[in-house]
Structure 1
Amino acid sequence: MQIKFYILLAVGLLFLSCNEESKVEKEIATIEADFTVERFDKAFFEAKPEDLSTLKEAYPFFFSKRVPDSIVIHRMKDTLQHELLTEVQNTFPDFKNTKQELEGLFQHLKYYDKTFTVPRVITLTNDVAYRDKTIVNDSLVLIALDNYLGADHKFYQNIPVFIAANMRKSQIVVDVTDNYAKKYSFQTDRKTLLDEMIYFGKLLYFKDVMIPFKTDAEKIGYTEAQIKWAEANESQIWSYFIEKELLYDTDPKLPNRFIADAPFSKFYLELDNDSPGRLGQYIGWQIVKAYADTTGEDIITIMQTEPQIIFNKAKFKPKK
């Protein structure tokens, strides 16, 4: 009877939690977050040399005073630029679905941060500089669409496959959210593997809260098979970190093995080839989730909390 009572209690608490989350999401859906997506990429694609002054007036931050107009006009006429812009227009004839996702993000940001104001959103191209796919500040969100043409696109043939895998339009709002997460996050040190794990765990948990309409696989940039592998092997991964005493290790090689973008994580075991990269980030994510569930703290506070406090209070236990 006692076991049955605890089961019923757990189910009841889960139901109440889900019901509360549903109420919050309904409230968030009523928040106004109006904005227009400005297609600078399209405007530049369609512009003629005589339109340059108009473009410079509308988007002065894209034109350096050190660069003469002749160079910009040459870029307008350049065949490679024309091909790049054509591919972008073909992939993004409109921006409706992504705009809806960005609106959802902004609604959540306004709910959790009362000081947040909806930024100006501008799309552009940046010669496939994939390390700068999106840029965010207090008033602007810049999205370089030539980095989201699809994993198998011909422009990405010289880019590592594990990086190109996330160069698709479904990842745009994920990348924008990641930029915002970094703005809200703070911690004094990032010296140990645990520091790094929880830093990236915070960024991923921020996505849980701000873009709940995206899947866990999309939030971390895994395939569905990779996220299932991480879930199935969570206990084994955690045991490895504990047995090897890696959590407080400051070896600079550890982030490259378990945190940085890579085709697989480096345990130096047979399971390496089956594993996705960034499993340290994945475990950090589970620790931060456990902390949030245990303490009930709001997302803004969590993003400012030191990693050791998060770890101590999370009482993290991996899935069996």
Structure 2
Amino acid sequence: MKKYIVAVVLLVGLISCDKKSKIEKAIEETPPISLKVYRFEKAFFETPPNELQNLKAEYPFFFPEGVPDKVWIEKMQNPLWKELFQEVEKKYSDFGKQTSEIEDLFKHIKYFFPTATMPKVYTVIADMDYNNKAIYANDKLVISLELYLGANHKFYEFPKYLEQNFEERQMMPDIVTSFSLGKIPPAREKTLLGEMIYYGKQLYLKDQLLPTYTDAEKIGYLPEQITWCQENESYIWRYFIEKELLYSADSKLPGRFTNLAPFSKFYLEIDNESPGRVGQWIGWQIVRSFMQNNEVSMQDMLKMDAKELFEKSKYKPKKTDE
């Protein structure tokens, strides 16, 4: 019986890998995508103040109406801003590697979403808004390079759980997160399950669009945090079931289990060992299970109701040895 189970598992794995390789081969054979990258931060900090009007004419969308010119001139001349620009220049003076990665990402996007708009790419130095590191909107993709300088950069004064994602390798996952906002409808019911499935869809999208990235990189965890979730999956799930949290609309639950946080809040001794957002990770496993057990296109899955998706997922957490 054990040999039979192993054989079945291997067969399913081989079929899955073959299907994935066929998709990747098809994507490789599609025409190359060439995206135009505009280095706005270079233009801004290398433009003399007396030529500000020319810069505003070239990039009007970066200069909101009502903001006096003196604000921009002061920023151009501010020593701290200039130093930050120099730090960005040290790391990203040549953006060729990142441009190739973005083009490869959009080849994947175009394969799964043929009508998706190919954007103009703008790199900027913004205000260190970690909630908007990369923004895909309409025909523009804006990337805030000051938030990809490396977790231990001297300019960062953020909690460690945020800084761990200020790495170059997080750029593509952040782009997919922003892209997903236009593809995944918000949960109809504000339950914990709805939140978990929403983020699970987002993470599954990263599975398809970023096939060479690790699970840790896709969700923004350290490798040991992924390991913690894998080792404690059955315990997390049992806690959600026993506490009857799945269909609860308690407004505190997102802060405990799906929002950015230093750790998840079970109100147990394990809290400090856990990573934040374990609900997102569980939602990801549910969506993966659904896609393994149902013949549904990814586009249709993204639109599905959370409750229906969960019920059809046949999700069972991996048992942990006692």
Output the TM-score relative to the length of structure 1.
0.95
Alignment of 1:245-284 (within 5 A): 245-284=244-283
Shift in Å, 1:188 = 4.9
* Equivalent position amino acid for 2:16 in 1: S
* Equivalent position amino acid for 2:42 in 1: K
Rounded Cα–Cα distance in structure 2 between residues aligned with 1:96 and 1:298: 34
Rounded Cα–Cα distance in structure 1 between residues aligned with 2:161 and 2:6: 42
Shift in Å, 1:261 = 1.0
The aligned residue for residue 20 of structure 1 is 19
Residues 125 and 144, structure 2, Cα contact 8 Å, conserved in 1: yes
1:91 aligns with 2:91: yes
Shift in Å, 1:119 = 0.6
Rounded Cα–Cα distance in structure 2 between residues aligned with 1:257 and 1:104: 35
Alignment of 1:31-110 (within 5 A): 31=30, 32-110=32-110
* 1:37-63 per-position Cα deviation (integer Å, ceiling 9, x unaligned): 211111112111233233222211011
6 and 167 in structure 1: CA distance in 2 versus 1, 3 angstrom threshold = closer
> Greater shift after overlay, 135-144 or 124-133?
124-133
3 and 81 in structure 1: CA distance in 2 versus 1, 3 angstrom threshold = closer
The aligned residue for residue 153 of structure 2 is 153
16 and 84 in structure 1: CA distance in 2 versus 1, 3 angstrom threshold = same
* Equivalent position amino acid for 1:292 in 2: M
* Equivalent position amino acid for 1:178 in 2: T
Shift in Å, 1:236 = 0.9
4 and 71 in structure 1: CA distance in 2 versus 1, 3 angstrom threshold = closer
* Equivalent position amino acid for 2:263 in 1: F
The aligned residue for residue 165 of structure 1 is 164
Shift in Å, 1:9 = 4.0
Residues 264 and 277, structure 1, Cα contact 8 Å, conserved in 2: yes
Rounded Cα–Cα distance in structure 1 between residues aligned with 2:90 and 2:18: 42
Same amino acid, percent of matched pairs: 45
190 and 169 in structure 1: CA distance in 2 versus 1, 3 angstrom threshold = farther
Rounded Cα–Cα distance in structure 1 between residues aligned with 2:60 and 2:143: 17
> Greater shift after overlay, 126-135 or 257-266?
126-135
> Greater shift after overlay, 285-294 or 85-94?
85-94
Shift in Å, 1:111 = 0.3
* Equivalent position amino acid for 1:312 in 2: E
Shift in Å, 1:222 = 0.4
148 and 190 in structure 1: CA distance in 2 versus 1, 3 angstrom threshold = farther
Alignment of 1:208-219 (within 5 A): 208-219=207-218
CA root-mean-square deviation? 1.6
Rounded Cα–Cα distance in structure 1 between residues aligned with 2:213 and 2:2: 36
Shift in Å, 1:85 = 1.1
Rounded Cα–Cα distance in structure 1 between residues aligned with 2:257 and 2:187: 21
> Greater shift after overlay, 116-125 or 186-195?
186-195
Rounded Cα–Cα distance in structure 2 between residues aligned with 1:49 and 1:190: 51
Shift in Å, 1:206 = 0.9
Rounded Cα–Cα distance in structure 2 between residues aligned with 1:127 and 1:181: 23
Rounded Cα–Cα distance in structure 1 between residues aligned with 2:194 and 2:67: 42
Rounded Cα–Cα distance in structure 2 between residues aligned with 1:190 and 1:48: 52
Rounded Cα–Cα distance in structure 2 between residues aligned with 1:168 and 1:7: 39
150 and 12 in structure 1: CA distance in 2 versus 1, 3 angstrom threshold = same
Shift in Å, 1:266 = 1.0
* 1:258-310 per-position Cα deviation (integer Å, ceiling 9, x unaligned): 11111111111121111111000100000011111111322211111110111
1:286 aligns with 2:285: yes
Residues 76 and 82, structure 1, Cα contact 8 Å, conserved in 2: yes
Instruction: Give aligned pairs, total.
Output: 318
Rounded Cα–Cα distance in structure 1 between residues aligned with 2:50 and 2:298: 49
Residues 187 and 306, structure 1, Cα contact 8 Å, conserved in 2: no
* 1:212-233 per-position Cα deviation (integer Å, ceiling 9, x unaligned): 1211001111000100110111
SS in 1 for 2:182: helix
Rounded Cα–Cα distance in structure 1 between residues aligned with 2:101 and 2:170: 10
Shift in Å, 1:8 = 3.0
Shift in Å, 1:6 = 5.0
Shift in Å, 1:91 = 2.1
Shift in Å, 1:118 = 1.4
SS in 2 for 1:154: coil
| Structure 1 portions without partners, runs of 5+ | none
